[in-house]
Structure 1
């Protein structure tokens, strides 16, 4: 019986890791140990509870005003101590967070094989998204098994000289998680959202938090949202506000007094999934939302100049629009006003998954240890 330690620390990681933990636990030759870093706290705990996962270990690394280096060093040190007592045949990490890079580094330095899920994503710009692009490139150098969400991500790794036999295309487990959660009955804790849902009016769902957008760019986004609120008074603009005070101080002043703008606290994953399903258009600078919303038939406008998820751009479900105020207004208005443009994005094929990525992941891990065979690779 091989023990796989799943290391994760943020809400997006927890969402994508949950189906993997369940699949590994169900495999007859594997057992899984869930280890959380606590890089996110409340949001992380919410996701674990939603999927019925009780972590075996909690490093609880986060401290007030902690730097990225602080998170990294506390995670590496915490895992290093844990490896002294916890039997671990491999460490599996997800994506591109500081917890991901720290988990890979701590395992590698102990001679423990690293399995990297959502491997191979590249924006080809180390500063955007920051620090995610560096985290995933570092992790790729340390991993013994690379599980990519798409063929394009696999090709990125091949171009970097990683051997094809240690890469397999699984699809993205975020689709597994989304399909499990979207049909669960969820009540909004904020009564204003229940009112918006009952109104059957169009909803523009907005999320923004990227470090590279903070400052002048995010101020422009705030002004664009205020203009859209005025142009479409019958629509709701809903912004679950990131808890970073810099984000709030930058974007919220422009929205003060806009009657059809609802600013909420961060939503649980179940609530956010329901809201995404209700939305007409999603405006975001998030990575994961680019994968999730197309599965629900929602056009996604991405407020970034590049993306490590180009497959959705190619498929037509996602459009990169940057953060310039006039363009944000123009692109959202085009989707609200032009049914043909809306339909062309809403009905495109999602290139990211079919709901069976976790099963492919588990099978690839079994093959890695010589106790099973990998499944056929994901193809949209």
Structure 2
């Protein structure tokens, strides 16, 4: 059976990973007409999808699966049924999903329902049980025929769950793609010892409220550093409300979502990142930037262990947050070793993607 590769995406980090996988597959002599990128359309705003897809030169199939008036359940089920129909009409495919967002689960269920081999990249990533991404990842790993783990912790999670069949600790299989992107676009790390710039991106639902935004807005007014604050499209009204009811600090500059290259360039210039995005935190680490995660102790504990990440929790006082900002602007953790770079694991993972032929489901 001659399988094509179906890369299921729907959110910005998955577009970037899809571009990385296309780069890998082409290096392995897979023809472009054998690679299909399917977009479930989780981003309603064109600023979060069209621009980055154009920049990454990704041609995606994106059926109309949502209406702004629909609730998330209707959107999910419609996206799933549409993808199942697409696979049945255009397969067979090796279905490849990334991470733990809703498109990950949609792709996984569609692969299972159609009997297609399912590959999960960044498998075994577990979160606190209250976060829906935890269950997306867990269900996907139960269904997956091949599971590539980014970290040792993720690998051990699958072993502990008695889900050890076809599990590979691959590290970041996109690592080479990232390095090529940085070199190709001549992005260089800042070398000055003068630290004066902070990049902020807060977009998750539990941070997208007036109380959180107002607090960070006021805290940024108390520091002497320049602040670049990326505003997610759904939070534009929120930040306008915060600014209207407060006094805008001279050091804060609000900006629209950046293209991926522009974001990497900004990371190269900034001195610290405050975010709730796991993807942005990982990219910040690649540039050796300290990270403050606005989460309650979940997200990249590996980076916490090596001393380049700390958490801003809901229990932290303003004084504690300001102290953590001071820590971030002072910490040094230079290392020539990247904990996500595993060359042997990466090669093994890529080989497994190319060789897998069967689904665990018997249709």
TM-score (norm 1): 0.81
Partner of 2:157: 156
Q: Show structure 1 runs of 5+ residues with no match.
A: 188-199, 371-380
Partner of 2:216: 221
> What secondary structure is seen at the aligned counterpart in 2 of 1:84?
helix
Partner of 2:191: none
Partner of 1:172: 172
Displacement of 1:307 in angstroms is 1.9
Partner of 1:366: 354
Displacement of 1:363 in angstroms is 1.1
The 1:250–1:176 alpha-carbon spacing in structure 2 relative to 1, beyond 3 Å, is farther
Partner of 1:192: none
CA distance in 2, matches of 1:250, 1:186: 38
Displacement of 1:16 in angstroms is 1.4
Pairing 1:326–2:319 present: yes
Partner of 2:76: 72
* Contact 2:293/2:309, CA 8 A, preserved across alignment: yes
CA distance in 2, matches of 1:212, 1:240: 17
Pairing 1:297–2:288 present: yes
1:106-185 superposed matches below 5 A: 106-123=110-127, 125-128=128-131, 131-163=132-164, 165-173=165-173, 175-185=175-185
* Contact 1:20/1:358, CA 8 A, preserved across alignment: no
* Contact 2:149/2:155, CA 8 A, preserved across alignment: yes
> What secondary structure is seen at the aligned counterpart in 1 of 2:129?
coil
Partner of 1:244: 234
Displacement of 1:65 in angstroms is 5.0
* Contact 2:4/2:94, CA 8 A, preserved across alignment: yes
CA distance in 2, matches of 1:348, 1:27: 28
Displacement of 1:334 in angstroms is 3.0
Partner of 1:315: 306
Equivalences, count = 343
CA distance in 1, matches of 2:261, 2:134: 28
Q: 1:257 aligns with which of 245, 248, 271?
A: 248
Displacement of 1:349 in angstroms is 4.6
Displacement of 1:255 in angstroms is 6.5
Partner of 2:190: none
Q: Which is worse superposed, 79-88 or 6-15?
A: 79-88
After superposition, give the CA deviation of every residue in 1:45-74 in whole Å (9 maximum; x if it has no partner).
Answer: 33332232222x222434325433233112
CA distance in 1, matches of 2:344, 2:47: 28
CA distance in 1, matches of 2:242, 2:337: 33
* Contact 1:225/1:255, CA 8 A, preserved across alignment: no
CA distance in 1, matches of 2:175, 2:246: 33
Pairing 1:283–2:274 present: yes
Q: Show structure 2 runs of 5+ residues with no match.
A: 188-193, 359-363
The 1:347–1:252 alpha-carbon spacing in structure 2 relative to 1, beyond 3 Å, is farther
> What secondary structure is seen at the aligned counterpart in 1 of 2:123?
coil
CA distance in 2, matches of 1:105, 1:252: 43
Q: 2:339 aligns with which of 351, 355, 359?
A: 351
Partner of 2:48: 43
CA distance in 2, matches of 1:207, 1:117: 24
> What secondary structure is seen at the aligned counterpart in 2 of 1:118?
strand
Displacement of 1:91 in angstroms is 0.7
Pairing 1:271–2:275 present: no
* Contact 1:8/1:37, CA 8 A, preserved across alignment: yes
CA distance in 2, matches of 1:277, 1:186: 11
TM-score (norm 2): 0.85
